Structure 1
Amino acid sequence: MNRGQFATFAIMTSLIAAISAPPAMAANRHLFSGDAFSAAQKQNARILVDISATWCPTCRAQNPIVNALMDEAGNENVVIFDVDFDTQKDVVRYFNARAQSTLIAFRGPNETGRSVGDTDPESIASLVQSTQ
């Protein structure tokens, strides 16, 4: 393999690794667990439940919007619980979610709003603000 071929190989390998890597999770994102969700509710936490599927393009569009919102001042204490639509069917039923790309906002035990299939940054921001 000559230098040119090696350089092309190295670039292609890096690109494949970047494309294949799972999306970065914000520091306040957690895989859903009933115990952790109940504890957050008891602490009157600001909560966002993100029900998504790996194959869902709308979910992929929502993810960077939600992560960017968590970086904004005042949202650093919002706890996000990720629910996999395909593998956590009992949790999906618990939340009465009918589709992936469902976002459900809570303040403690109280649901403050929900959206399905929304990719508008302003309306997702409004949903997050409903937890205050």
Structure 2
Amino acid sequence: MYRRTVLAALTGALALFSVAAGHAAESAEFTQGAFEAAQKAGRPILIEITAPWCPTCRAQKPILSELTAAPKFEDLAVFDVDFDSRKDVLRLFHAQSQSTLIAFRGPDEVGRSVGDTAPASIAALLNKTLSSATP
């Protein structure tokens, strides 16, 4: 009986996760071509510059995951940039540090933050990527 209860609970949790994951923003490693295609399509875009050794980046991850799971961000393109290996991209975006978040609405940069781990201000940055002001 215990096995069935645990199995039922796991099945329910997986189903719930699948529904939530269906609304998560698309995330991919940065490529110039994919970034330009997202810009031309007028998509909301987030550039996330991270480093595996960065504690601030680790703190931002769950905040971004939760925020981008909201249905309003289902079209958000998230591009990951490794701070240590992608110096070319850092120069392109004039980024000098890891834990940098850069928001675009289509071709236009609409905001950026560095070292921010406050959910409210990260949410405000993400909202700037949307066509209409969404609280």
- Determine the structure 2 residue equivalent to 1:41: 39
Note the alpha carbon deviations across 1:2-29, whole angstroms, 9 max, x for none. Answer: xxxxxxxxxxxxxxxxxxxxxxxx6611
Q: Indicate which of 61, 64, 86 corresponds to 1:63.
A: 61
Note the alpha carbon deviations across 1:56-100, whole angstroms, 9 max, x for none. Answer: 000000011111111112111111000000000000111000100
Instruction: Measure, in 2, the Cα distance between the counterparts of 1:127 and 1:45.
Output: 15
Instruction: Give the number of the structure whose alpha-carbon radius of gyration is greater.
Output: 1
Give the secondary-structure state (helix, strand or coil) at the position aligned to 2:73. coil
Identity of aligned residues (%): 57
2:25–2:74 Cα contact (<8 Å) kept: no
In structure 1, runs of 5+ residues without a counterpart are 1-25
Give the secondary-structure state (helix, strand or coil) at the position aligned to 1:131. coil
In structure 2, runs of 5+ residues without a counterpart are 1-23, 131-135
Give the secondary-structure state (helix, strand or coil) at the position aligned to 1:91. helix
Q: TM-score, normalised by structure 2?
A: 0.77
Instruction: Measure, in 1, the Cα distance between the counterparts of 2:70 and 2:33.
Output: 27
Give the secondary-structure state (helix, strand or coil) at the position aligned to 1:74. helix
Instruction: Measure, in 2, the Cα distance between the counterparts of 1:37 and 1:73.
Output: 21
Instruction: Measure, in 2, the Cα distance between the counterparts of 1:48 and 1:68.
Output: 14
Superposed structure 1 runs of 4+ greater than 2 Å apart: none
Give the paired residue count. 107
The change in CA–CA distance for 1:130 and 1:27 in structure 2 (over 3 A counts) is: closer
Instruction: State the superposition RMSD in angstroms.
Output: 0.9
The change in CA–CA distance for 1:99 and 1:128 in structure 2 (over 3 A counts) is: same
Q: TM-score, normalised by structure 1?
A: 0.79
